[in-house]
A and B are shown apart, each in its own frame.
Chain A
C-alpha cells in the first residue's frame, strides 16, 4: 500500500536568475491522494511541469515507480503519469469521444500502415479503444454527449472530460492542476467524489488546488509550497494547524500596526472557519 509511485528528489528549477522551485523532495505513494497548496506564484504549476516533463528540472531527478523519468512529456505519459491543465486544454473542435480516444494514444500501437491497410488487427484495436473510451465516459457521466464537440460542453463537463482524457492513458498517477477552479460548490462536490472514485480504481492522485475545503476533505497528505520551497508536509490537521502556513497565506502582522493585536486572532478564526465549516463531509460518508 505504501510503495512510492512518484519520487521527486531535490528538484530545482531556475529560469535565469529566478529560482521558481528550490530543492523540493516529494513522494506520492500508491493509493494516496496528495494535495499541493501554496499561495499564488509559489511554484506549484512549475513543479507540476517538472514532474510531467514539460520543463527539464535544472537539478534533481523525478522517478516513477523506481525508474527515472525521461524529460519528454509524451514519454512521461507513456510511463504512466497523466495530467490535466490549470486552464482547460481540451481539443476544442474534436468530439467528446475523440478527445478520450486521443488519450488512448500511448496504449495503442496502430501506425500509418495499419491504418491504410485496415487489417483485422486495426479494427479490433479501434473497437477496443472505443469501448474503453466509452467506459470512461460512463464513469464520468458524459456518455450521452459522446458526439458533442468539446468546446460546446459546459465548463464543469469540460473539466470532467479533461480528467477522462487523462485517465484514458491508463496512468498510475494522475496530476490534477486546479480541478475545481471556477466551479460552484455543487460541482466541486461532484469533482471530489470523482477523485475518490479514481483513487478507488487504484490510481494515485496529486492535486493542486486553492479551494482549502476541497483539499482538506480530499487529501491523505498535503504539502505546502511557499516561494519555491516545501514548507510543511503532513495530514490535513497538521497543515491546518501550522502557523507558518497561515502566515504564508494571510501575511504576518508587522510591529506597530494598529491592528496588530487582532491580526493573529482573525487569522486563527479564518483557519478555524476552514476546519469548522466542513464537519459533516468527512471522507467516511462520501465513500
Chain B
C-alpha cells in the first residue's frame, strides 16, 4: 500500500516509514488480520465464572454483554485489514488508502476488551475471577495493536510528529468515483439504519460498564472512519441528496420508539429531544448571532410554566382553563418571546462579557421570582417551590398521550407518544433553524458576530437583528418547554438554574452547543444526546460527574475547539488548513486578478 523508499539518508527518518515496531509489513498486516479474527472469536469464550458481573460473560458458545462490543471491534479490524490488502469490492472502505483507520480500530478493540477485563477484576476483586477466555481475549486484542504500530506510516508535511501520523487524516484524499443515485440513496438508507441501531444500543445499555465499553468502540470506530475519509465521502453524498437524507433521518427518528419494549428508554429519548431542541434554539443565539446567553434555560421554564398554567391542572392558578395543545404551545412560545424581548431590549445594547453576565443574572431572576410567587412573598401564581403538579396528559382527537396505544403490532407507551410529538416539534425547529440561517437575516447575524461595527456600517441595524435572534431562540425554547411540562407531569422552579449536575440547565445547554459544534444542526443535537446520556448512564460517577465532564470539555477544547461536528466556517477558523472546500485548481491560481475596472 505504501511503498518504502530508501532515499532518505537520515537514519531516524528511515526508521519512521517502517513503523514503531520493527516488523516486515506483511507480518504486521497478518498480525492485524489474525488478531482481529482472534479478538472476535475470543468473545465466544467464557471470560468469568460468575454472573455477578453484569451481562453474563460466563457462557462459552456465544457472546454476551460487553463481549458483543469486543466482537464488533474485532470484526471491524479484520474487515478493514482485508480491505487494506486491496481485495476487490472492499476498496471503498479505505478511500484515503492510509493505515490510520487500522490503528484506531485496533486501539478500539484493545480499549474495550481491556476495559472489560479490568472491570471484571476490580468489580469481583481479583484477577482470579477471570476464566482463561478472559486472558485469551486480552492477548488477542493486543495483537492487532502490535500489528498496527508495525505498519509504516508516511510522515507528511503537516504531520511531522510520528505518533500523530498514526491517527491523522491525510490532507489529500483522491476524489471519489461517481456513483449512481440509487447507490447513494442506498448508502444513506443503510447508514440511517446502522445509525439508529447504534444509537438505540447506546440508549438501551443497562449498566455503566456496558455504556463505557460502547463509548470506547463508537468513538474509535467513528474516528477511524473519519481518518479513512469515509465520513467526508458520506457527507458529500448527503449534500447531493439533501432532502432524501433529511427524510431518512426523520424516518429513523420516528422508528426509534418502535424498537423499544421498555417505555423507560422512550423517556430518555423524549428528554434528549427536548434538551436537543432547546440547544438548537440556543444555537441561533450563540452559534449564529454570537450572543453569549448564560440564562437561556429560563425561556424553557417560561414555556413550561405557561403550559402548566393553562393545562387544566387543579393546582394551577387558572385551574378552570384548559387550552388545547396547539393553543398552549402557541401561548408558551409567545410568553417566552415576550420574555425574550423584555430581557433582550435592555441587555442587547451590551457586548461580549457584559451581555453574558447580565443574561446570567436574568436567568437566576426567573428562578427566584418563580420560587417566590407563592402568595406569601409575592403574588400567588406559581405555587413557589411546590410548583404545579399533576398536569394532565395531552389528548389529540381522542388520542390520549397518557395511555399506551397499539400501532401495527407495536405497543407505544406514554413516553413513546410524547417522543413522536417531540420529533415533529424537533423537525419544525430544524426547519426554522436552517431556513433562518440561510437567508438575509441569518447572514446579518453572522456579520454581527464577526464584526459588529462593520456590520452596522453595512446598514445592518445591530440591535434589531440581535433582538430578533434572541426572541426567536427564546420562543423555540418556550415551545419545547410546553411539551416538557406535560412529559414530567409537574413543573418546579429547581431545574431552571444556571448550573447543576443534570440537564437541562444553562451551563449544560451551552456545553451541548459548544461540544457538539456551534452553528451546525447536528452538533447541538449530538451534544445534547451525549450530555444527557452521560450522567444518566454513568451513575457510578455520581457527584464526580461534573468533574469528569469538566475535564472532558477541557480536553475537547484543546484538541477539537470547533466541536465534534465542525461547521465549515469554524473548521477553517481553528485549523489553518487553507481552503478545503474549493478545488485545487482555483486555490493555486496566483496570477493577478483580471480587473474589469479601468478597461
Binding site for B on A (CB under 8 A): 52, 54, 72-74, 77-78, 82-83, 85, 89-94, 98, 101-106, 108, 110-112, 114-116, 118, 122, 125-126, 129, 138-142, 144-145, 147-149, 151-152, 157, 160, 165-166, 169, 186, 190, 192-194, 196-198, 286
Contact = CB atoms under 8 A, between A and B. Distances in A.
Interface of B: 431-432, 435-436, 439-444, 446-447, 450-451, 453-462, 468, 472, 569-570, 572-573, 578-579, 581-582, 586-587, 589, 592-598
Contacts of A138: 596
Given A91-B454, A112-B436, A116-B436, A147 B581 contact: yes
A153 to B, nearest CB: 10
Contact of B440 (A52, A73, A108): A108
A221 B224 CA distance: 65
Nearest to A165: B458
Nearest to B453: A89
Q: Is the interface of A mostly helix, strand, loop or mixed?
A: helix
Given A91-B446, A139-B597, A115 B458 contact: no
B569 A77 contact: no
Given A77-B457, A94-B446, 12 more contacts: A102-B443, A102-B455, A106-B459, A110-B439, A115-B442, A126-B439, A126-B440, A141-B596, A151-B573, A160-B593, A190-B598, A196-B597
Nearest to B460: A105
Between B439, B456, B457, the greatest number of chain A beta carbons within 10 A of the residue's beta carbon is seen for B457
22 contacts: A72-B461, A74-B457, A78-B459, A89-B453, A89-B454, A91-B447, A91-B450, A92-B450, A93-B569, A93-B572, A94-B447, A101-B440, A102-B455, A102-B460, A111-B440, A122-B439, A140-B593, A148-B579, A148-B587, A193-B595, A194-B597, A196-B597
A67 B46 CA distance: 88
B472 A112 contact: yes
Contacts of A139: 596-597
A72 B569 CA distance: 30
Contacts of B435: 115-116, 118
Q: Is the interface of B mostly helix, strand, loop or mixed?
A: helix
Contacts of B462: 74
B520 to A, nearest CB: 14
A22 B472 CA distance: 45
A138 B594 CA distance: 9
A197 B598 contact: yes
Nearest to A169: B459
Contacts of B454: 85, 89-91
Contact of A110 (B440, B446, B450, B457): B440
A140 B592 CA distance: 12
Contacts of A118: 435
Contacts of A103: 458-459
A226 B321 CA distance: 73
